[in-house]
Structure 1
């Protein structure tokens, strides 16, 4: 009887894994925000199922210090020209953009830089195979908030994991959520090719979704049954 149960569980695990790609969520709150802003895109890429749940990847070993790696090695050249026009972005990485009057905060999986004109907040969000090529990418959320009015933007980046301890990192923009007050527009890019040297971040855009937060009720997805720790587990957001 025990053998039959094990076989059933293995079959169920295989079936669930075939429906969705496993996701290693690094910061759950950041991943939940991304999932709420671009649910259809994540479902189309099989990173969420039809109920808005994801399948946790147990095979990935936990790692700490993503924030330090991204601060010291990720280039800010993925930003749109209107965000990158300030002198604070003259640097090959975020550490090089810090000015004497900038205030920096660090945490294990991210950081924030409070400049005179803008505030940058970056979160290492998840690790997953974004485009189905068998290679995992780091999914990073970087929010740029102007202090003198204007539009705030959250860039969702795809960063190939570094191959060495000194490799410079560049992000390919998968999507940009641009907000002016409560009115937000999501620009999604068809990110089939993710290169270590990223080109124009938004060329070509493939979808535009208009979102107005607060006008539609938000409900939690149905709870999912827990699976054994030996395989992917379905996790509600």
Structure 2
């Protein structure tokens, strides 16, 4: 299959989305299950940013530029400094590799890694690549689940990471959202929420399912929503 054919096919997909009212921006989904989980946590935010349409579908992007071993890149280059809410527990370092202690255990995967520390478990995954801010620049969307060993709140950070431009470049992420759970009680915190901004002028209909356009469909039920809005360290809180 030639690059020209793929480019034309992508153009037809985008045109079809516009004509059908989809108007979503393309997303390169790296870890499908993690992307669906993110969409479960904040469907309205992804809709407002045009990464999901009103039916909960996304437009899969066909990238001609290959990148391998995201997990090793994130492990060796990504700074854990974005974990502001876990300052009392997190093992800080210039990157995740530098947080390792003698008793730490690491599991590496092509698209992520896990670290078992004495007080917490960290699970980092490369989720997707998309233009989150609609500024013409793609960001890596990375999830980082922080689970304390003994009680406390578990947090999933959704982090925007600029793609590395050279081999030796360190990576620093910006938190886009935090999904925080204490037992079964969970809250979503969103920085610079487009969903709240858009709702004032054009309210979104509640999304009831998330559909994966390729290869097939996957249905996910959205939790019931309670409309509550607050602020915490520049993030906007919405309870689900």
In the alignment, is the contact (CA less than 8 A) between 1:112 and 1:119 conserved in 2?
Answer: yes
> Residue 238 of structure 2: which of 209, 223, 227 is its match?
209
Shift of 1:191: 7.2
1:13 aligns to 2:14 (yes or no): yes
Q: 1:132 to 1:103 in 2, by over 3 A?
A: same
After TM superposition, the structure 1 = structure 2 runs for residues 188-203 of structure 1, keeping only pairs within 5 Å, are 188-190=190-192, 203=233
1:32 to 36, 59, 75: 36
- In the alignment, is the contact (CA less than 8 A) between 2:45 and 2:193 conserved in 1? no
The 1:14–1:75 alpha-carbon spacing in structure 2 relative to 1, beyond 3 Å, is: same
Counterpart mapping for 1:1-237 below 5 A: 13-16=14-17, 19-81=23-85, 83-86=86-89, 89-190=91-192, 203-205=233-235, 207-211=236-240
Q: TM-score, normalised by structure 1?
A: 0.76
> Residues of 1 paired with 2:112 and 2:13: CA distance?
36
Over the aligned positions, Cα root-mean-square deviation in angstroms equals 2.1
* d(CA) in 2 for partners of 1:52, 1:77: 32
The unaligned stretches of length 5 or more in structure 2 are 1-7, 195-231
SS in 1 for 2:82: coil
Q: Quick one: distance in 1 between partners of 2:11 and 2:123?
A: 41
Other-structure match for 2:216:
none
Work out whether residues 131 and 191 of structure 1, in 8 Å CA contact, stay in contact via their aligned partners in 2.
no
Q: Which runs of 4+ in 1 moved over 3 A?
A: 9-13
What TM-score results when the alignment is normalised by the length of structure 2?
0.75
Q: Report the Cα distance in structure 1 between the residues aligned to 2:109 and 2:13, rounded to whole angstroms.
A: 38
State the Cα distance separating 1:115 from its structure 2 match. 0.5
